[in-house]
Structure 1
Amino acid sequence: MVNFAEGMANNSTETSNHEENVSEILTDAIIWAVIGVVTVITNFSIFVCTVTSNINQNLFFTVLNSSFLIGILFGGFYILPQWAAEYFTSEIPGLCFLLPSLGSLLLLCYNLHQCFISIDRYYAVKWPICYRKKIHKSCYIYFITAIWLFSLLFVSIPFMTYRIVEVENCTNLSDEAAENVFLFITFIATNILPVIIIIFCYANIYHKFYRQRSKTFALTTSANQQSKRSVDNKTIKASIQMGFLVIIFMVLMLPSTFIFTFGSLGLMSSLPGIVAYHLHIVSRYVSFLYPAVNPLLYCYFVDSIRSAVKSKILTKLCFHNENSVSVYQERNNSGTVLVNYTSNS
């Protein structure tokens, strides 16, 4: 009787654990599906608005549109199949190795684009005359092409050197030590290096704005108070924008960076395993939100993009109103139609 009771208890525990695992897997898939869909929608919407609108397509938009295109691919061809539909794609031969490599390629390429945008803004503020004279669209195309080729070559290194895979069984036969070293280098290239470059560039831009404001105030007489206020407002606005971009990037990217770094150095060994695991999962959710949020930041801070989005929305609303026409009929008591009225709803 005791053995029967113990067996029932064990079966009940196993059933409970199985239900918890299924619930956790389902919740994880839903979260990743939301992140992937939002990433595709935000990047695709802003990309279409900037490409189809009659805004000034300066050099800055060349690299910006390329990053939006990467965001579309990242959400649609990596996050959704790799994380949201992992239960199905993990059993498909080839995808188990292709999707992680594709994700590394797109993430590295995306963050290198953010670095390039930061360096471009820094160069434009630091040396504006030289920037306008020497930087042409062909330079941007060369740099963007180089970023794509470098990212592709970087993620291809394991397959050309040490990685041995069995596609049919999704088995990795490569050296574990070499794999860990490459993953660590990949993490540095996709997370730590962009953080350093972006913080450096925007901090210098921020410093440049305030130093320029101080010089302008020193040269401006007290009689020209309106000019002072104009310069001050522009400087404060630009500084706030730069500050928001840096803060949001740090809030979304640094938690994953710190947790991975501390874990690699053994500084999280004192934490319970379940706590460390959930910290890693949550930080990965947050960091993968950045490609979804980034287009919205540019839509808010860049006046031309914001105007293009507003124009598209108003155009759609006007088109909808023009096509939604209601017909009203006035009838007499016998049911005969006397008058037809048409009006836009």
Structure 2
Amino acid sequence: MPGHLSPPPVGQLCYENVNGSCVKTPYSLGSRVILYAVFGFASFLAVFGNLLVMTSVLHFKQLHSPANFLIASLAFADFLVGVTVMPFSMVRSVESCWYFGARFCSLHSCFDVAFCYSSLFHLCFISIDRYIAVTEPLVYPTKFTVSVSGTCIGISWMLPLVYSGAVFYTGVNDDGMKDLVSALNCIGGCQIVVNQDWILINFLLFFIPTLVMIILYSKIFLVAKQQAIKIENTGSKAESSSDSYRSRVAKRERKAAKTLGITVVAFMISWLPYTIDTVIDAYMGFITPAYIYEICCWGAYYNSAINPLIYALFYPWFRKAIKVILSGQFLKESSSTISLFVE
């Protein structure tokens, strides 16, 4: 959805000497260099960081688990944002023009919505996985199996792809807004207008999974606190081997839930401003200035680069995997059986 700025000086066009060209917002050379550096760094992190996550989970056998397959699939969604969305959005944001054609504009918007909603759905299923792991750690392996994880991954990909494709390729997103679409239609623009009905649906698609995650993680931390108190109270007593194993499993699952809880909070902080802005824009006549919209948009994009940094900070096994991968040791045949963590 477009924002609005005062018209730049006459002659600043996306395509000089072309009738119907969009007006270009001028930036100084220094500003453009800084913006390209900031946006390019986000794209690099999203691509390289998530590639490391996927390689780690898929290469090392010790990481082959239903929960980690979900994490790898989430990383793939964020990786695709970094490859197919962010580089082109970077040029659009800095140059204030779209130089990649009208057809790719629709495809780019479709990718944008699909991969970002796919990330959200993955995080929602991950919160369900963590809830089961923390509340029922001993029976968790029998409840959240590889087939269950595969089903969650399938849903996380199919629903966003079908939804975004249906919305942007049937034209229902701008029903009732033909006058605005005509006014915005110019050569060198990629401004997808979404009417109030679909903005409301978009908001619900964001709000409902987010609400599920908030509820589940609230319960997770309550259970984790109770478990910690129980372990502390029984710490001075002699523990049987089964009690000791139960304590280790519970502690491990709580730590994983905490890390992924931070991932969810980071997602909400990144996406909430953009989501609120789109709702306000749709119901208030698209009043958001262009620069505010771009800030909200890139705040959301940056989320795809944040997750690998969170894993690197809180997962020792991921840091060890990175060292093995970057040193080239993972090319050795025996590297897939390297121990990355201890029970």
Give 1:77's aligned amino acid: T
Greater share of strand residues, 1 or 2? 1
Count of paired positions: 295
**Secondary structure at 1:139's aligned position in 2?**
helix
**Secondary structure at 2:63's aligned position in 1?**
coil
Do 1:90 and 1:96's aligned partners in 2 also have CA atoms closer than 8 Å?
no
Q: CA RMSD in A?
A: 4.4
Task: Give the C-alpha shift of residue 244 in structure 1.
Answer: 3.8
Corresponding position of 2:16: none
Deviation per CA, 1:65-87: give whole Å up to 9, x if none. 11111112111111112443576
Is 2:197 the partner of 1:181? yes
Is 2:273 the partner of 1:255? yes
Pick closer, same or farther for the CA change 1:113–1:82 going to 2, 3 Å.
same
Between the aligned residues of both structures, percent identity stands at: 19
Task: Give the C-alpha shift of residue 25 in structure 1.
Answer: 6.7
Corresponding position of 1:197: 212
| Structure 2 counterparts to residues 1-345 of structure 1, below 5 A | 21-23=26-28, 28=35, 30-84=37-91, 89-158=98-167, 159-160=169-170, 162=172, 179-189=195-205, 191-218=206-233, 220=234, 222=236, 234=251, 241=259, 244-263=262-281, 274=289, 277-315=290-328
CA distance in 2, matches of 1:96, 1:238: 39
**Secondary structure at 2:64's aligned position in 1?**
coil
CA distance in 2, matches of 1:142, 1:240: 24
Do 1:47 and 1:68's aligned partners in 2 also have CA atoms closer than 8 Å?
yes
Task: Give the C-alpha shift of residue 195 in structure 1.
Answer: 3.0
Deviation per CA, 1:141-186: give whole Å up to 9, x if none. 12211221111221132334736999998999x9x7x733213322
User: What TM-score, normalized to structure 1?
Assistant: 0.68
Pick closer, same or farther for the CA change 1:19–1:204 going to 2, 3 Å.
same
The structure number with the bigger radius of gyration is: 1
Long gaps (5+) in structure 2: 1-7, 14-22, 175-180, 333-343
Once the two structures are overlaid, the 10-residue window that deviates more, 179-188 or 101-110, is 179-188
Deviation per CA, 1:124-150: give whole Å up to 9, x if none. 112234422232211211221122111
Once the two structures are overlaid, the 10-residue window that deviates more, 205-214 or 178-187, is 178-187
CA distance in 2, matches of 1:163, 1:171: 17
